Amino acid sequence: METMKASERLGTEPIGKLILKLSIPAVIAQIVNVLYNIIDRVYLGHIEGVGTLALTGIGVTFPIIVGISAFSAFAGYAGAPLSSIELGRKNYKKAEKILGNSVTITLFFTLIIPTIVYIFREQLLFSFGASENILPYALDYLNIYLIGTIFVLIALGLNPFISSQGFPKEAMFSILIGAITNLILDPIFIFQFHMGIRGAAWATVISQGFSACWIFFFLTSNKSVIKIKLKNLIPDFKIIKNILVLGTSSFTMQITESMLGVTLNKSLQIHGGDLYVGAMAIAQSIMQLISIPIRGFTYGSQPIVSYNFGAKNKERVMKATKIIVGYATFILGFSSLLTIIFPEFFSSMFTKDPELLALMGKTLPVYMGGMVIFGIQNGGQAVFLGIGLAKTSIFLALFRKILLLIPLALILPNYMGVMGVFYAEFISDTLSAITTLFIFVFIFKKVVDKNMQ
């Protein structure tokens, strides 16, 4: 009975209070989660003598890591919202079956994806902007990271099923376990054991293993509203189809992030060289760092939208949407302005190389410029996924990255030099945020009204 109340409060508690209750643990969890990657870069960038090479090496693995993580989207950003909608309809049996099939999909990807990447790893890294100097560092990290793919996909893919039931603190704890472990192991492996970039990789794999074990334990315990059961792991192809259709949106957003990383690194290598690839690694890390509160806020609030959409409570859906989009825009806008005003201060967390710091002072303000209004799209994506608008989410993901950013990153450097890569980010972020606002004004309300009939 206690577990049922945890999910049902999504439809009864005051929206503002509920958003705070769900989003604060999620924000903390997301901040801690991003530390996996950020901490690695901070420590590696300060290794005496080879810090810049190690930092750049992990930077060129970023598209592959993002590409692997993208496969968690089918469970976490499709299965979890679908399950939450069924909880709103009080259909607990179907919600549990969605969880089981999400586990099956995740396990399938953990067998296939790392095998393919391992076979073609050197070709991929060269394609993604690695030079002969950088390749050994990138391989040292990637070879070990691939061992932990199963932990990564379970941790990222199944954790949303905890928060979507109304257990934000437990979802936060699952991430804290791994991130704190990583924070402890990184300096020990990198410096004390003199393992360098390989130490960073092992610290990440072990830490994600702890998180994955905790999540699996919770979702099989009596505290969970819906549980992982062997009978629900048998594929139900209708459910799998629904998960794959909705998950294509988030998968596209993340896999295009990988494609984007390839394009940016390659263009930077051609027009600028290793130093500019290192600058992009830092810029992407800073963008991750400031966007984390938004990701946690929208991620934590999304179950409110999904649950009430399933329960046909229009007033709560619309109120939650206004708060999510409004707060996302304000917080990301304010954080972005700080990085634009103090670029070298934020960059100094990752490097002490004076040449690289001077370059960050020139490139980071341009790179972060569009983020000032990008919270509109961050919040919008969460809401659209929350109500099952897969096509709209896919369109926005493709529009920003495939139709705008990648072509601009290839074209602008021919006219503006290497700085054109950074201006491409600014232009695409700005135009995609404006497009999301247009969708809210002219399309979103009609979809919600239609569901309430």
Q: What is the pLDDT of residues 128-141, one digit of tens each?
A: 778 888 899 999 99
Report the alpha-carbon distance of residue 162 to residue 19 in Å, rounded: 16
pLDDT band at 7 (very low <50, low <70, confident <90, very high): low
Q: Is a pLDDT exceeding 90 seen at residue 250?
A: no
Q: With b meaning 16 or more CB within 10 Å and e meaning fewer, what string describes 256-282? A: bbbbbbbbbbbbbbebbebebbbbbbb
- Of 310 and 116, more confident: 116
Residue 403 per-residue DSSP state = I
* Model pLDDT, residue 263: 83
User: DSSP for 172-225?
Assistant: HHHHHHHHHHHHHHHHIIIIIS--HHHHHHHHHHHHHHHHHHHHHHHTTSTTSS
Residue 37: the pLDDT is 64
**Cα dihedral sign, 102-108-114-119:** negative
Position 56 scores a pLDDT of 77
> With 60 as the cut, is the pLDDT of residue 278 above it?
yes
Residue 219: what pLDDT?
A: 95
Does 274 or 427 have the greater pLDDT score? 427
- Does residue 146 carry a pLDDT above 70? yes
* 58 and 138 Cβ atoms separated by less than 8 Å: yes
Q: Is the pLDDT of residue 35 over 50?
A: yes
Closest Cα to residue 191, out of 54, 55, 47, 49? 47
The CA-based angle 429-435-439, given to 5 degrees, is 140
pLDDT in tens, 162-178: 987 878 788 888 888 98
Label residue 453 by pLDDT band (50, 70, 90). Answer: low
Question: 221-247, pLDDT tens digit by residue?
Answer: 999 989 999 999 999 999 999 999 888
Cβ(250)–Cβ(78) under 8 Å? Answer: yes
Q: Determine the pLDDT at residue 4.
A: 47
Cα–Cα distances in Å, from 121 out to 127, 138, 352? Answer: 10, 10, 30
The token pair that represents 362 in the structure block: 């020139």
User: Which stretch, 29-43, 210-224, 382-396, has highest mean pLDDT?
Assistant: 210-224
| CB-based burial, 332-352: b 16+ in 10 Å, e otherwise | bbebbbebbeebeebbbebbe
The answer to whether residue 89 scores a pLDDT higher than 80 is yes
Mean pLDDT, residues 211-218: 93
What would the two tokens of residue 163 be?
């928060």
Token look-up 């979507």 returns: 164
Residue with tokens 């960038």: 45
Query: What is the pLDDT, as a whole number, of residue 1?
Result: 43
By CB atoms closer than 10 A (0-12, 13-18, 19+), residue 32 is: buried
Q: What is the mean pLDDT of the chain?
A: 85
How many other β-carbons are positioned within 10 Å of the β-carbon of residue 52? Answer: 22
Distances (CA, A) of 89 to 14, 96, 310: 19, 13, 6
**Number of neighbours of residue 2 by Cβ within 10 angstroms:** 8
Question: What are 298's two structure tokens?
Answer: 């929208």
With a cut of 50, say whether residue 204 has pLDDT above it: yes
Question: pLDDT digits over 339-374, tens only?
Answer: 999 999 999 988 888 899 999 999 999 999 999 999
Q: Name, in order, each residue with C-beta under 8 angstroms of 52's C-beta and a sequence gap of 6 or more.
A: 45, 274, 275, 278, 351, 353, 356
pLDDT at 364: 95
Q: Is 35 helix (H, G, I), strand (E, B) or coil?
A: helix
List Cα–Cα distances, 152 to 68, 107, 159, 396, 411, in angstroms: 9, 11, 11, 26, 35
So what's the pLDDT on residue 350? Answer: 83
Residue 3 has pLDDT above 80, yes or no: no
